[in-house]
Amino acid sequence: MTTGGRSPHHVAPAFGRGRTEIGVSGGFDDAFLVEVRERNNIVSVVGDYVSLKKAGHASFKGLCPFHSEKSPSFHVHEDRQFFYCFGCQAGGDVITFVRELNGYSFVEAIRHLAERAGLQVPELRPQGPGTGRRGASRASRASKSERDLFYEIGGIAQRFFTETLQTMEGTVCRDYLRQRGVDAKATERHGLGFAPDRWDGLLNRLREAEVPAEAAERLGLIVPRSSGPGYYDRFRNRLTFPIRSNAGDVIAFGGRTLSTEKDVAKYVNSPDSPVYSKGDTLFGLYEARQAMRREGWAVVVEGNLDLVRLAQFGLENVVAPMGTALTAAQCTLLKRFAPRAVLLYDGDNAGRAAAEKAVPLALAEGLAVSVAVLPDGEDPDTFVGTEGPDALRALLARAVPGFEHLVLHCILPRIGEVRGARAALTAAQEVAPTLELVRDPAERHLYQRQLAEILGLDEAELVRLLKASPRRRTRVDATNPMTPAARQPVAAPRTPPPSSELDLLKLMMLAPGSCALYTAHDVEALVTHPGVRDAAEQLVRRWESDGAIELASFVSSLEDTVLRETLFKSLASAPPVGDDWMAPFEQLETRLKREAFQRRLSTLKLDERRATLAGDELGAMRVLMERQKIQRQLEALRATRG
């Protein structure tokens, strides 16, 4: 097994891959979705984030927000209402853009765009058993008016804490930050503040703002008195860390005590609320999301101050899991922004144990994970402070892939250096549940081969031991309802369609009237690519019901990710078709017929060979006659222009 690390490198964003929704419409009425798209011109929406310049009749271009580039390769097509980047192959409609840039779910993106356009967001339609309960976020379950109130209260509290930090009361907190090496720029970037050493500091500010006490209590900012009426501040004499939603709204706080008393909890976090769930949130994600997109990977640390210090030294793609063990929901959230993560946990027993728990969890969620091991007694803050950012980057570059780390640092130390059947069986029992979680068969096979080398076993023997080992519930199973047995099988890799079939589908989208000929001429029988066949069928249904095709939303809705990306790339440079589509359609139909004849000839050639080898002269003659017939038909088609 290779113990040297693989340096974290840029990976193009995988748009829509591994993402599941509660339905194509997310539970919204189709007419409402159409209005949301119509009221949010993609040039205007993208222009809120990207500086665009005119690049043609109805095209604009700018620097891509999804990867780092110096020359603009990011194009926005106003007439067709979609974007496409020739650099990283990101593409989609206005909903896709908002989702991928901000890490929103489909429902969150629709709400954002609806509110941007001043539209009233309707209640979601039921989407099947359990909808609105399991799987729905707390923010989704809160009504719009409630959410707006909670976000407003969070903003009031944040302003109070940041203002108090700059007062005389905040001197003790400013001194602490200076002692920890946190500068003013880092303090401002992360919105650090100070909760004064009073029982009613924030409470009085909320009263001045006429905030309902019950709402502030539901957010966990104030706590009811145990005896008598009234409330008191939850956060007192603490450095405060604002926790933001993906949209940047303050939804909770973390607080680090500045007291020297031993009976005071070192850290206090907001309790779960209608807009916040600790296990579903990552501290610093809002600030780090663009850097994670740009770099293609994220760093996960344990402490909030570790994150602040690393960002201060230029490592901006850092997040922290709210002072708890990494959860499945947090791994899924990470994947929205970057396909890879490096765990940079403290160099102590607790940090090593946390990494051991996190690796199987990340593998179960399909997140590529590596582990960077700090020297004993070091944490990210102390290491970067003494060794500097270059040394830290070198340490991250040597990060060991998660499975290798699990075997080398967790399993082998438990079984010792002893080799033999008993040690091999013990190792197999330890590692089998984790191997089951690795979804990529090629990756899983690589891990099996590496483990066999370490244990001194033949790979076939190791596979036998793995199959024979009892299937125990892992730490992942205990926290993740989607156990390996319940997971969906990995879909076979999808391939791009033949150029003729891609051109046909593109023509049907640009000239929807051709859908009638597609049906009348039974062109479907000539299409071999399942993704194209399904997409064409959907196109025909939409054209028959609506008489028009919303190009960007249609392509974005396709489940075949390879076909979707191929179509966006092709459409980005496709000229308008206009009314003169009949001749191109007939030419494409002729091409498809020729290709069908050629496929049939290849099959018949093999059949003739088999019949000859079997001594079946009559069968060989029959096949030969059919070949000659099809050859004549093919020659006639070749004489046809197309």
Phi–psi pair at 300, nearest 5 degrees: -110, 120
| H or E element at residue 539 | helix 530-546
Indicate if 520 and 485 belong to the same structural domain. Answer: no
330 lies in the same domain as 475:
yes
CATH code of residue 356: 3.40.1360.10
The answer to whether 240 touches 195, Cβ cutoff 8 Å, is: yes
Does some domain include residue 6? no
One DSSP character per residue, 576-610 reads P-TT--HHHHHHHHHHHHHHHHHHHHHHHHHHHHH
Distance (Å) of CA 135 to CA 21, 22, 141, 318: 10, 9, 10, 26
Q: Retrieve residue 354's tokens.
A: 């946390």
Residue 509 belongs to a domain: yes
Residue 416: its pLDDT value, please?
59
Please say which residue of 456, 490, 524 terminates a domain. 490
For residue 101, give the CATH number of its domain. 3.90.580.10
Q: What is the pLDDT of residue 546?
A: 77
Taking only Cα atoms into account, the Rg of the chain, rounded to an integer number of angstroms, comes to 30
361 with 338, same domain? yes
314 and 431 share one domain: yes
Mean pLDDT of the chain: 83
User: How far, CA to CA in Å, does 228 sit from each of 211, 216, 224, 231, 282?
Assistant: 21, 18, 9, 9, 37
Domain boundary among 126, 158, 177: 126
- Kindly give the residue spans of alpha helices, DSSP state H, lying in 284-323: 285-295, 304-312
pTM over 0.75: no
Q: Which residues pair with 91 in a beta bridge?
A: 84
Q: Edge-to-edge strands of the sheet including 91-92?
A: 53-54, 59-62, 74-77, 82-85, 91-92
Q: Do residues 485 and 532 both lie within one domain?
A: no
Residue 589 has, within 13 A of its CA and on its CB side, a CA count of: 18
Q: Which residues contact 223 (CB under 8 A, 6 or more apart)?
A: 217, 231, 232, 233, 234
Query: Where in the sequence is the domain holding 337, given as residue range(s)?
Result: 291-297+309-490
CA 225 to chain centroid, in Å, comes to: 42
| Residue 228, phi-psi category: left (phi > 0), alpha (psi -120 to 50), beta (remainder) | left
Q: Report how far Cα 598 is from the mean position of its chain's Cα atoms.
A: 42
The pair phi, psi for residue 363, each rounded to 5°, is -60, -40
Q: From CA 190, how far away is CA 284, in angstroms rounded?
A: 8
- Going 119 to 122 to 128 to 133, the CA torsion angle's sign is positive
In whole angstroms, give the CA distance from residue 322 to residue 305: 11
**432 touches 468 (CB < 8 A):** no
35 lies in the same domain as 103: yes
Residue 157 token pair: 């509290």
284 located within any domain: no
Q: How many domains does the chain have?
A: 4
**161 is a domain residue:** yes
The string of pLDDT tens digits covering residues 502-524 is 999 999 988 888 888 888 888 99
336 and 402 fall within a common domain: yes
Low-confidence ranges of the chain (pLDDT < 50): 1-24, 128-137, 139-141, 418, 472-493, 642
Residue 131, in any domain of the structure: no
Is 50:75 a contact under the CB 8 Å cutoff? no
- Domain-embedded: residue 369: yes
By the 8 A CB rule, do 317 and 345 touch? Answer: no
- pLDDT for the residue 297: 93
Decide if 603 is inside a domain. yes
Give φ, ψ of 607 to 5 degrees: -60, -40
- Residue 20 in any domain: the answer is no
C-alpha to C-alpha distance for 491 and 497, rounded to whole angstroms: 17
Question: How many angstroms separate the Cα of 164 from the Cα of each of 154, 173, 208, 211, 576?
Answer: 15, 10, 16, 19, 59
Could you give the C-alpha distances from 433 to 235, 361, 468, 469, 557, in angstroms and in order? 42, 11, 12, 9, 35
The single residue listed with the structure tokens 């003013």 is: 184
- Residue 189 has a CB neighbour count (10 Å cut-off) of 15
pLDDT on residue 132: 42
What are the pLDDT digits (tens) for 547-601?
A: 778 888 888 888 888 888 889 888 888 888 877 888 889 889 889 998 888 888 8
The residue type at 366? G
What is the structure's pLDDT at 484?
Answer: 38
**Is residue 320 domain-shared with residue 370, that is, in the same domain?**
yes
CA 439 to chain centre: 16
Sign of the torsion formed by the C-alpha atoms of 21, 488, 293 and 299: positive
Within this chain, do residues 367 and 398 fall inside the same structural domain, yes or no?
Answer: yes
Alpha-carbon gap, residue 339 to 336, rounded angstroms:
8
Q: What angle do CA 480, 405, 408 make, to 5 degrees?
A: 125
Which one of 455, 490, 525 terminates a domain?
Answer: 490
pLDDT at 470: 58
Find out whether 320 and 300 touch, Cβ atoms under 8 Å: yes
Task: Find the helix or strand (DSSP H, E) in which 267 lies.
Answer: strand 267-269
Amino acid at 134: R
The reply to whether 457 and 511 lie within a common domain is no
pLDDT in tens, 223-246: 999 988 999 999 999 999 999 988
Pair 119, 603: CB distance under 8 Å? no
Buried b (16+ CB within 10 A) or exposed e, 165-181: beeebbeebbeebeeeb
Same domain, 338 and 433: yes
The CATH number covering residue 232 comes to 3.90.980.10
Residues 256, 160 within the same domain = yes
